[in-house]
Amino acid sequence: MKLLIVDDSNIIRKAIQKYLAEFGLEIVGEAGDGRTALTLFRETSPDVVTMDITMPEMDGLETLSEMRKISDSPKIIIVTALKDKATALDALQKGASGFLAKPFTEAQLKEEIGRAIGRAS
């Protein structure tokens, strides 16, 4: 399975990459903003996307909506510091497969990704 990591924080991108190594996901790209994420999404056709909301250029919710116009297939997990229920509901209504609040633990990330791809962590 192919993974695209989208977050404006290099530290978070590296943590996600490290934490998910045991899932055997192929990292097909990393993006620090929504516009770059959309380009990579079109080029790599990922199976799973981790998506921050607060980013430059284009925020994660807008990027999520645009990705869903391209394909309904990938599992898109929102990973964000915005913890309010309205944001989570908005993301799920726009097609997110899951929602994880920052800061997150390795176990929480694995559980959310595992649930999205139908695999126990």
Looking at residues 81-106, what average pLDDT do you find? 92
Predicted confidence at residue 82, as pLDDT, reads: 86
Name the pTM for this structure. Answer: 0.94
Q: How confident is the model at residue 120 (pLDDT cuts 50, 70, 90)?
A: low
CATH code, domain with 109: 3.40.50.2300
Q: Which helix H or strand E contains 65, and what residues bound it?
A: helix 60-70
The sign of the CA dihedral 78, 82, 83, 89 is: negative
- The pLDDT of residue 119 is above 90: no
Q: Which domain holds residue 76?
A: 2-117
Q: How confident is the model at residue 24 (pLDDT cuts 50, 70, 90)?
A: confident
Distance separating alpha carbons of residues 109 and 121, to the nearest angstrom: 9
- The number of distinct structural domains making up the chain is 1
Comparison of pLDDT for 51 and 118, the residue scoring more: 51
Give residue-wise pLDDT tens across range 40-85.
999 999 999 999 999 998 999 999 999 999 999 999 999 999 888 8
Q: Which helix H or strand E contains 3, and what residues bound it?
A: strand 2-6
Predicted confidence at residue 33, as pLDDT, reads: 97
Nearest-10 Cα torsion for 35, 75, 89, 16: -70
Looking at residues 15-23, what average pLDDT do you find? 91
